[in-house]
Structure 1
Amino acid sequence: MRKVSNPLALAVLAFLLMEPMHPYELGRRLQETAKDRSFRYNRGSLYMVVKQLAKAGFIVEQGSVRDTERPERTLYALTDEGRAELHDWLRELVATPKAEYPHFGAALSLLSVLDPAEAVELLGRRSATLAEEAAQIREAVRAAAEGGVGWVFLVDDEYRLALLEAELRFVATLVDSLGRSDYIETWHTIFGSRNDGG
């Protein structure tokens, strides 16, 4: 069990590996590098994670800075324990698959409750959203690569794109299956009279 288990902590440790920073700067770097697509956070959760990491001994206060009109900000630096935690945690995440419970998987496990025609319509809307997101990521990756960003800094986007493309293929196949007459007839036999939840 990790002392700090929020994945955002992993990003904080990684950024502090480069240099000491204050939480505001950490948030700015997450946005600038588009890591905010991989780590869900807001200002409050970022400050909370920084406090948790300090309490665990993974980071320490290292002075403060005052820039422009803003109030003084506390700089945090990575400790040796924090560096060890970063590498150990990252190695574990890269090497060991973990069971995840995405919302879509939960919905799919109960998909038979929906009228096949409605399920097809809803999946069509999902496909449109997925395709739009995939196009945005492709464009962001292209622009970053043209701007000189190394491929290794884009692998999280490439991974997300691969997942989106796989899900698009899966949804297309599922839509075809839901449209088959044998499934529709079976659904109406089993659920037709019970599914008037409109």
Structure 2
Amino acid sequence: MSAVRLLVLGVVRQQQPTHGYAVRRELLSWRAETWTNVKPGSIYHALKQLAAEGKLATVGTENSAEGPGRTLYEMTEAGEAEFRRLMDGALVSIDMEELGAAIAFMDALPRDHLVAKLREQQRNSAETRDGLLAMIPDFPGRHEPPHATDLLELWSGVFANLTGWTAGLIERLEAGEYRTTD
């Protein structure tokens, strides 16, 4: 799953009709380049690819004083379905870039659905943490460097933190914090 694809769909969904420069400007205002691999070229590529797939529709051109007209995009029904599918996948992912993209748009989902997906994500991160910790007694083996145990401890700590952070987010959502679609 591409976090860039989810980010582009999410911004178009919020601002439609909109153009690539506006999507880029919005993501820059979130400082998304610090927590994702989003680059200007990847934004424009995603827009063109999503339009070719029928997930976005081109609905006109906006004049620009700085150059050629800007193509305006809107979500299609297929784009909305893709956005929901990507959100569900990213919310249960232990990939920080994907999860971050989904958290950025979590207000697009009903609270109960969001909490259920985050509970699944919490289980995934706890299982990953536990799996890493279970490997430690066998490290280092014959082929691993002696500091492999330190890497396992580092990553298990990251996933322990993710598990705890997710628990806090679930608590805040269940307490009614944050706006959701319901």
Give TM-score, length-normalised by structure 1: 0.46
Call closer, same or farther: CA 1:6–1:92 in 2, change over 3 Å. closer
Does residue 65 of the first structure (1) align with residue 97 of the second (2)? no
Match of 2:3 among 4, 7, 10: 7
CA separation in 2, counterparts of 1:6 and 1:36? 14
Corresponding residue for residue 113 of structure 1: 145
Matches within 5 A, 1:26-37: 26-37=23-34
Paired residues of 2:33 and 2:39 also in contact (CA < 8 A): no
Once superposed, which parts of structure 1, at least 4 consecutive aligned residues long, lie more than 4 Å away? Answer: 96-99, 108-112
Corresponding residue for residue 39 of structure 1: 36
CA separation in 2, counterparts of 1:48 and 1:115? 40
Partner amino acid, structure 2, of 1:82? G
**Percentage of identical aligned residues:** 24
Call closer, same or farther: CA 1:92–1:28 in 2, change over 3 Å. same
CA separation in 2, counterparts of 1:115 and 1:85? 42
Corresponding residue for residue 175 of structure 1: none
Matches within 5 A, 1:102-181: 113=145, 152=178
> Structure 1 regions of 5+ residues with no counterpart?
121-125, 127-150, 154-198
- 1:74 CA displacement: 0.6
Bigger CA radius of gyration: 1
Partner amino acid, structure 2, of 1:45? S
Match of 1:25 among 19, 22, 47: 22
Call closer, same or farther: CA 1:114–1:82 in 2, change over 3 Å. same
Corresponding residue for residue 164 of structure 2: none
Give TM-score, length-normalised by structure 2: 0.50
The alignment covers a number of residue pairs equal to: 114
> Structure 2 regions of 5+ residues with no counterpart?
92-116, 155-176
- Residues 7-47 of structure 1 show CA distances to partners (whole Å, capped at 9, x for unaligned) of 21111111111222111111110011233333312121111
Partner amino acid, structure 2, of 1:42? K
- Residues 98-155 of structure 1 show CA distances to partners (whole Å, capped at 9, x for unaligned) of 79x9xxx9xx987962679xx99xxxxx9xxxxxxxxxxxxxxxxxxxxxxxx859xx
Paired residues of 1:6 and 1:49 also in contact (CA < 8 A): no
